[in-house]
Copies of this chain bind each other. A is one copy, B any other.
Amino acid sequence: MLYYCEKVVKSMRLTVYTDYSLRTLIYLGAKNEDELTTIQEISDAYNISKNHLMKVTHQLGQLGYIETIRGRGGGIRLAKLPKAITIGEVVRQTEEDFHLVECFDPASNMCKIAPACQLKGVLAEALQAYLAVLDRYTVEDFLGNRDLLMQLLQ
């Protein structure tokens, strides 16, 4: 592990935002179809911030992954079958800005060798390989041990 200024450098991470998005989809996938779940219930189950989760579910709704029903007795549920929700697609949409290094964004690039540098292309190729793996899985693939999942979430 690289220690830098006595602090640990952590990189290539997904945001907690994406993490929560995936967790929410798994939670809803483990529930019976059509059954409504409140944001409160999910935040209690995972013991995470309800306010933050609210932003996450709102976006999942906008993206069409879940259906959100407002008002008393409302809640959320999957808007698609678990097998129709690809992990790669979710990750691409919840964190779309994959600017691995400075030169990925022409607007902010300051690196002089950018016109001649082939590093960008190689990193882009690596990123595609990463996402290609995630494209091979759907939410359904994570529901194999559904009973254990629900038990852990009590």
Contact = CB atoms under 8 A, between A and B. Distances in A.
Contact of A9 (B45, B95, B117, B152): B95
Interface stretch (A33-41, A70-78, A98-106): A98-106
B152 A113 contact: yes
Interface in A106-154: 110-113, 115-119, 122-123, 125-127, 129-134, 137, 141-142, 144-145, 148-149, 152-153
Contact of A18 (B1, B11, B133): B11
B100 A12 contact: yes
Given A47-B112, A113-B153, A118-B144, A13 B134 contact: no
Interface residues of A, number: 63
9 contacts: A1-B97, A9-B17, A11-B18, A14-B100, A26-B113, A46-B113, A113-B152, A122-B134, A126-B130
A43 interface: no
A62 to B, nearest CB: 10
Interface of A: 1-2, 4, 8-19, 22-23, 26, 45-47, 55, 59, 87, 93-102, 110-113, 115-119, 122-123, 125-127, 129-134, 137, 141-142, 144-145, 148-149, 152-153
